[in-house]
Every structure is written in structure tokens, then in C-alpha cells.
């Protein structure tokens, strides 16, 4: 203390008596000004919201989650089956896991039952969605139970269903998040999978953000979207739900325009969403079209493709959680609950909502035939889409022996097109020959 005090007194004596005092004083004032600014800025940074890390007490890693799901399937082979299918495009490799639920699997005829296709984890940063997939599968397999739920009534509904669950559509993007890039939503090569579908693909709004919304080099340029397209064509679901987080909402088509579909299909979809919102979500969710409700238009989305091209009668996007108070840089907290109470509430509320969706959807689907959604002239899909779906279904049914068909798909397309082209040319030549052979007869008759 004494030594410090003497140093202070010496410093004061130096400043007050030194002839350099007058010349140094302005310089010292400038230094003091910048030092004070730095300290204030440092204090501001210190007190700003920190970036929240992944809470591994609540959330599985991607590998652990897929292992848990695989183990669940192996414990319940009478209800569940699993496939993990690799895919690649121009050196980029992806892998997709699909779990199929049928309550009495040995007697399951998928085409005669009500079919539901659910996709989770399309954006890497939305970890809570894949946790919901696991919770739903655990409830379907009867390893977990929801409170106040009549299991007998649930089983009556499930007897008539086949449900396909993609628990983590964007595995590569999820791994980037786990490596520390908590705001990453795109896949492993920087493409937003929910902008890579063909309906209104590539259109950019004034507020377009290439980091957030990169649509890729072409529709279906990414293995993940190619896989999901094949799955939707082969499975022919009655209900599609794309599960996201970032807010609380129940969206129906469309995302690329500020409107919903016309007619009774739209009214029935809205009615279902209103019931879910009231029964399980305390009317806190936005309901309507994604483009009309969220505040911006999204082009090339999965839900718009499922509704307009695949002709899924009921196509939805569910947003299951969002923290509006989180900083825009604090992405884990913005998109995922960080405490166990909220975590379990989100999973329980939305699991219950999905069980109700299964019941309501089955009751509604009889009135939602594809002819009610679109005219017959709009039902055609491309040859590529047809072959993709056909080969995917054959591969699923017969296993790895059918991989040669997958590898030869491009050749089959080429041969099919050549066959069509040759048929057209032969028909043209035939008609030309008939025309030439009939001209003299017509000429003679005219004489």
C-alpha cells in the first residue's frame, strides 16, 4: 500500500511540475478518451447475451440419436423397420435413415392403409425436431406413454396407418452444427434443402439471403432432396408434415405465394389445424399459408412440391418451437428449448398433436381425393419422377439386389426416351408414306 501511494504521489508531482505537462496533456486526454471508449465497449460485450452451446444433457448427438432409434427398432420388429440408404451427387455423399411403423407389421399392406410421411431435421440447427421424431417413435412402439391418453383409442387409429419417419433429413448439416456452427441450416455443401425443390425454384425475393436460402444449382441438385422425392413418389402419402423450429405455427400450402389453395381441400386442412391448435397448443400457433403468415415468401419448398406435384392431399409445415427473445446470433437458443421443463413440454404437446393428426387425417382423407385437389390434366409427373419412385419402391421391397437398377437408372431413362423418339419417327415415316401413296388416287379422282 505504501509503495503504491508513493508512486501515485510521484506521478502527480511529475504532472504538476514537469515542463512537459502542457505538451503532454492533450495527448493524454486523447488516450483517456479512447481508453474509456474501449472499456465501455468491452463492458457492453461482456454483458451482451452469450452464445448458448448445445445442452448435451437434453440433446443427443446425431450419431447417438440414430443409434437409439436403431435400437428401438430392433426391440420392436413387430411394429418397426429401418433402412439407412446412402446417396451421392458429384462427390458429395449423404445418408438418409427411414423408419416405417405399422402396428401389425406382418399383416401390413401399405397401399390399403392410411399413409403418413414425416420429415424432421431438414435444417441442421433445429435439433429439437429430431428429438420429437424419437419421442413419437417411442410412443408408437409403446415404450413411452402420454398422460391423459386413451391408448386403446390410439391403437384403433394406428391399426389403419402406415407411418414413415425420416428422423434426420440433413445429417451432414447437423454435424456442422455439432462442430460449433450453431446457426447452420444448410446441408454439407451449403444448400438449403427447403429451397431445392422444383415448385417456383430459384426465385429470389428482395430480402434474399444466400447464406440462409441458397437453392442449389438446380432443382433436386442435392442427394437429400432426391431421396425425399423418390420416397414421396413410391410411398404416395395421404399426409405430409415437414417439421421445423424457429416459431410456433401450423402452416399449409403455399409457401411461394401469399395464398392458400382453393376449395374444400383448403378448408378441411385449415379445420384440422385449428383443432390441433386448440386441443394441444392452447391456440398459440399461427395458422395459414407459410407465404401469407410468416412475413416472407419461400420458393422451392418441400411442402409446395408435395401438394402441387406429388398431389399429397394434406401437406403441412409445423413449426414447433421458437424463442423470440434470443439474439439472432444465439441460434441454439432461438431454435431449441434449453431447459428440461420446456424441452419435455414441447415434445409432449407436439406428440399429442401428431396422434390427433393421425386420427383426424384418416377421417378426412376420404373427401380429399386427388381429383378434388387438381384436374386430371395436372396429375402427370415427369418420366424422371416416375422412374425414381418406381425404382426406389422396388429397391425397398427387394433389398440390395435391386441396387443395380438404381445404378442403371440413367441408362433406363435414356433407353426409354430413345424408344419414344424412335416411335415418333416411325409414326411420322408411316404417315408420310401413306400420304404419298394416296396422292395419285386423289388426283385421278379429281380428273
- Residues with catalytic function: 319
Give the residue from 421, 252, 243, 278 showing the smallest Cα distance to 356. Answer: 278
Longest Cα pair distance anywhere in the chain, in angstroms?
A: 135
Region of residue 142 (left: phi > 0; alpha: psi -120 to 50; beta: else): left
Give the residue from 228, 218, 215, 219 showing the smallest Cα distance to 298. Answer: 215
Region of residue 175 (left: phi > 0; alpha: psi -120 to 50; beta: else): alpha
Residues ≥6 apart with Cβ < 8 Å to 250: 273, 276, 277, 281, 285, 286, 287, 316, 318, 319
Give the residue from 83, 98, 305, 295 showing the smallest Cα distance to 194. Answer: 305
CA torsion sign for 339, 328, 346, 136 is negative
> Sheet containing 80-89: which strands, arranged edge to edge?
80-89, 92-101, 161-166, 114-119, 239-244, 314-321, 247-252, 286-289
CA torsion sign for 124, 128, 134, 136 is negative
Amino acid at each position: 500500500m505504501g509503495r503504491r501511494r508513493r508512486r501515485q504521489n510521484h506521478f502527480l508531482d511529475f504532472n504538476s511540475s514537469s515542463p512537459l505537462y502542457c505538451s503532454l496533456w492533450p495527448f493524454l486526454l486523447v488516450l483517456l478518451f479512447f481508453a474509456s471508449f474501449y472499456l465501455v465497449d468491452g463492458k457492453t460485450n461482456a454483458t451482451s447475451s452469450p452464445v448458448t452451446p448445445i445442452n448435451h444433457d437434453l440433446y443427443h448427438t446425431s450419431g447417438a440419436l440414430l443409434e437409439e432409434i436403431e435400437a428401438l427398432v430392433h426391440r420392436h420388429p413387430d411394429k418397426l423397420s429401418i433402412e439407412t440408404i446412402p446417396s451421392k451427387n458429384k462427390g458429395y455423399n449423404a445418408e438418409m435413415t427411414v423408419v416405417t411403423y405399422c402396428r401389425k407389421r406382418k399383416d401390413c399392406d401399405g397401399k390399403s392403409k392410411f399413409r403418413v410421411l414425416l420429415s424432421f431435421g431438414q435444417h441442421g440447427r433445429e435439433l429439437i425436431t429430431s428429438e420429437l421424431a424419437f419421442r413419437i417413435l417411442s410412443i408408437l412402439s409403446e415404450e413411452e406413454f402420454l398422460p391423459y391418453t386413451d391408448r386403446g383409442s390410439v391403437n384403433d387409429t394406428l391399426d389403419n396407418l402406415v407411418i414413415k419417419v425420416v428422423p434426420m433429413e440433413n445429417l451432414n448439416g447437423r454435424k456442422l452444427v455439432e462442430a460449433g456452427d450453431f446457426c447452420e441450416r444448410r446441408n454439407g455443401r451449403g444448400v438449403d434443402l427447403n429451397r431445392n425443390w422444383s415448385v417456383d425454384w430459384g426465385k429470389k425475393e428482395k430480402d434474399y439471403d444466400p447464406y440462409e436460402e441458397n437453392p442449389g444449382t438446380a432443382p433436386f441438385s442435392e442427394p437429400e432432396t432426391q431421396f425425399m422425392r423418390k420416397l414421396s413418389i413410391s410411398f404416395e402419402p395421404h399426409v405430409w408434415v415437414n417439421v421445423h423450429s424457429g416459431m410456433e405455427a401450423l402452416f399449409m400450402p403455399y409457401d411461394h405465394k401469399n395464398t392458400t389453395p382453393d376449395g374444400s381441400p383448403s378448408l378441411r386442412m385449415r379445420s384440422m389445424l385449428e383443432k390441433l391448435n386448440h386441443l394441444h397448443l392452447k391456440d398459440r400457433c399461427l395458422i395459414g399459408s407459410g407465404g401469407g403468415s410468416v412475413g416472407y415468401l419461400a420458393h422451392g419448398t418441400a411442402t409446395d412440391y408435395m401438394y402441387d406435384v406429388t398431389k399429397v392431399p394434406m401437406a403441412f409445415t409445423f413449426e414447433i418451437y421458437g424463442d423470440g427473445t434470443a439474439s439472432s446470433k444465439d441460434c441454439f437458443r432461438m431454435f431449441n428449448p434449453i431447459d428440461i421443463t420446456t424441452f419435455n413440454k414441447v415434445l409432449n404437446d407436439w406428440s399429442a398433436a401428431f396422434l390427433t393428426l393421425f386420427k383426424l387425417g384418416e377421417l378426412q382423407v376420404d373427401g380429399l381425393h386427388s381429383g378434388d385437389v387438381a384436374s386430371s390434366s395436372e396429375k402427370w409427373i415427369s418420366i424422371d419422377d416416375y422412374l425414381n419412385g418406381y425404382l426406389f419402391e422396388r429397391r425397398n421391397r427387394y433389398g440390395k439386389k435391386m441396387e443395380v437398377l438404381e445404378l442403371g437408372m440413367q441408362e433406363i431413362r435414356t433407353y426409354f426416351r430413345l424408344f419414344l423418339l424412335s416411335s415418333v419417327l416411325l409414326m411420322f415415316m408411316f404417315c408420310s408414306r401413306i400420304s404419298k401413296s394416296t396422292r395419285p388416287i386423289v388426283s385421278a379422282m379429281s380428273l
